[in-house]
Amino acid sequence: MSASACPITQIVKRDGNLVHYDRDRITTAIFKAASSVGGNDRETAEQLSLEVENTLVEAYGAQSIPSVEEIQDIVEATLIKNGHAKTARAYIIYRHARAQERASRQYTFETNDNIPYKKIYEVLRWNMDHKCETVDGLNKIVADGQFAQLVRDSEQRYDEEVALGATRIMERLPEVRIAIIAGPSSSSKTTTTIKVSEKLKSIGMELVAINIDHYFFDLEMHPKDEFGDYDYETPQALDLDLINEHLVDLLAGKCVKTPHYDFKTGSRKLSVHELSLKPNQILLIDSLHGLYGDMTKSIPASKKFKLYIETLGQLRNAEGAFMRWADNRLLRRMIRDSWHRNLQPTQTLTHWHYVRRSELKNIIPFIGAVDYLVNSAMPFELPILKAKLFKYFPEAMERFKDEPKRQDAYLRAKRVFEMLNPMTEVADDSVVSSRSLLREFIGGSEYQY
């Protein structure tokens, strides 16, 4: 590829906005990192940035819109591959410093996905108080026979947090007619929805859920990603016009017939499930794209309560690297997809790149408008998830290591492998309650999903 012929024209920033792609920004970042360890050859930085660009095109396709995270991961891998280990370390430090600069410019918000800094601090303090903020700390809890107690404490924290969210909804009655529980993939929206419903029943209010998944278009109408795979993660895969039509009718007291979607066949039938809304009922939307503006554009803001849920984990390894929230959710989804969507765990791993990209584009920009935040990360879940999934990561690393179009999967598998490798696994999940949100993913829940 020539230096002036890159087909990538846009990238997705951390706040979800699309901006112009500029290879020179990659060159400059590499050059600054190299300069910090004694290098002064910008031409080499330019050659490396071109290699990064070629890898992006090979991995994601000519007309793709990669995210900042994806680009930075490939920069690090490219530097190491070409023998620039010192520059790679300097780049990682530079990357961290840039994150700190963004945090200082946005004092009220932590840099990770628009989540308020105060919320992140609360999570970190809870983990520190329970001595589970590090992999070593988790391992000690397991070794000391305190794992069951950590499970109970974690479940209590989550239940109390969800109950407070339900209370916030109550405080806005009777004006609120729609409660939206939104969040990225595998953040446990469904379990949270059920628990909010249980709380509201205590005051005679009933949540009536509208299943947004039934509004998927037939599979052949779904947009495709750069690999030709059907994309369930974009809101454009949903019949947004029909959703809004039904929302207006429901709030007007009318009865509607929602569709039914079969994930195994990839087809839907119209006018299947009858749904109506009584005066003591609140319509509940439990959806990946609940915050997306066009999802509920026909309904005034005053009639909606938006609750956002995310795995706000604060777990770090011995080197100080934190477990990424998206990686936590990836583990959950690898299990769930295997029994709910008939996908192998490695298939979920290879598809995850557009899951994350869709989150950055269609979810993250709207977090600032939510009414309440819930942390669904359970410190105890990672030792359990390791026991069920760890074997897939060495296999994925070996399989995708030399595949140009799967470098994102390789880098992700390597990152998760390195985080989980020193962690003590817990194969016996019997200490996890049948009402736990983790059961939404590993099975054995008393709730119906």
Predicted local confidence at residue 419, as pLDDT = 96
**Interval 345-364: pLDDT, tens:** 998 999 898 788 888 888 88
Please state, in angstroms and rounded to a whole number, the distance separating the CA atoms of residues 65 and 67. Answer: 7
CATH superfamily, region 117-442? P-loop containing nucleotide triphosphate hydrolases (3.40.50.300)
- pLDDT higher than threshold 50 for residue 62: yes
Predicted local confidence at residue 201, as pLDDT = 95
| Three-state secondary structure call for residue 67 | strand
- pLDDT higher than threshold 70 for residue 437: yes
- pLDDT higher than threshold 80 for residue 440: yes
- pLDDT higher than threshold 80 for residue 299: yes
Predicted local confidence at residue 275, as pLDDT = 97
**Interval 117-157: pLDDT, tens:** 788 889 999 999 999 999 999 999 999 999 999 999 999 99
Q: Confidence class of residue 90 from pLDDT cuts 50, 70 and 90?
A: confident
In the numeric block, which tokens belong to residue 121? 């601090």
Predicted local confidence at residue 342, as pLDDT = 67
Phi, psi of 167 (to 5 degrees): -60, -40
Please state, in angstroms and rounded to a whole number, the distance separating the CA atoms of residues 337 and 346. Answer: 10
Which run of H or of E encompasses 271? strand 267-275
Q: Confidence class of residue 96 from pLDDT cuts 50, 70 and 90?
A: low
**Interval 395-405: pLDDT, tens:** 999 998 888 77
- pLDDT higher than threshold 70 for residue 101: no
Predicted local confidence at residue 230, as pLDDT = 67
Please state, in angstroms and rounded to a whole number, the distance separating the CA atoms of residues 186 and 310. Answer: 9
Rounded to two decimals, the pTM is: 0.75
Would you say 6 and 55 are in contact if contact means Cβ atoms under 8 Å apart? no
- Distance from the Cα of residue 248 to its chain's centroid: 30
- pLDDT higher than threshold 70 for residue 5: no
Most confident of 82-96, 211-225, 379-393: 379-393
Predicted local confidence at residue 287, as pLDDT = 84
Query: Which amino acid is located at 124 in the chain?
Result: L
Which of 250-254, 366-370, 376-380, 414-418 is predicted least confidently? 366-370
Would you say 29 and 94 are in contact if contact means Cβ atoms under 8 Å apart? yes
- Would strands 10-12 and 18-20 be described as parallel, antiparallel, or unpaired? antiparallel
- pLDDT higher than threshold 50 for residue 20: yes
Query: Which amino acid is located at 192 in the chain?
Result: T
Share of the chain above pLDDT 70, in %: 91
Please state, in angstroms and rounded to a whole number, the distance separating the CA atoms of residues 348 and 344. Answer: 7
If you count DSSP H runs as helices and E runs as strands, how many of each does the chain have, helices first?
Answer: 15, 9
- pLDDT higher than threshold 70 for residue 226: no
Spatial neighbors of 11 by CB under 8 A, at least 6 apart, are: 18, 19, 21, 65, 66, 67, 68, 71
Please state, in angstroms and rounded to a whole number, the distance separating the CA atoms of residues 85 and 102. Answer: 26
Residues of the chain with CATH 3.40.50.300: 117-442
Predicted local confidence at residue 93, as pLDDT = 74
Would you say 219 and 365 are in contact if contact means Cβ atoms under 8 Å apart? no
Predicted local confidence at residue 379, as pLDDT = 96
Phi, psi of 441 (to 5 degrees): -110, -40
Please state, in angstroms and rounded to a whole number, the distance separating the CA atoms of residues 13 and 69. Answer: 8
- pLDDT higher than threshold 90 for residue 215: yes
**Interval 181-197: pLDDT, tens:** 999 999 999 899 899 99
Work out the mean pLDDT of the chain and round it to a whole number: 88
Which of 62-71, 225-234, 240-249, 438-447 is predicted least confidently? 225-234
Q: Confidence class of residue 449 from pLDDT cuts 50, 70 and 90?
A: confident
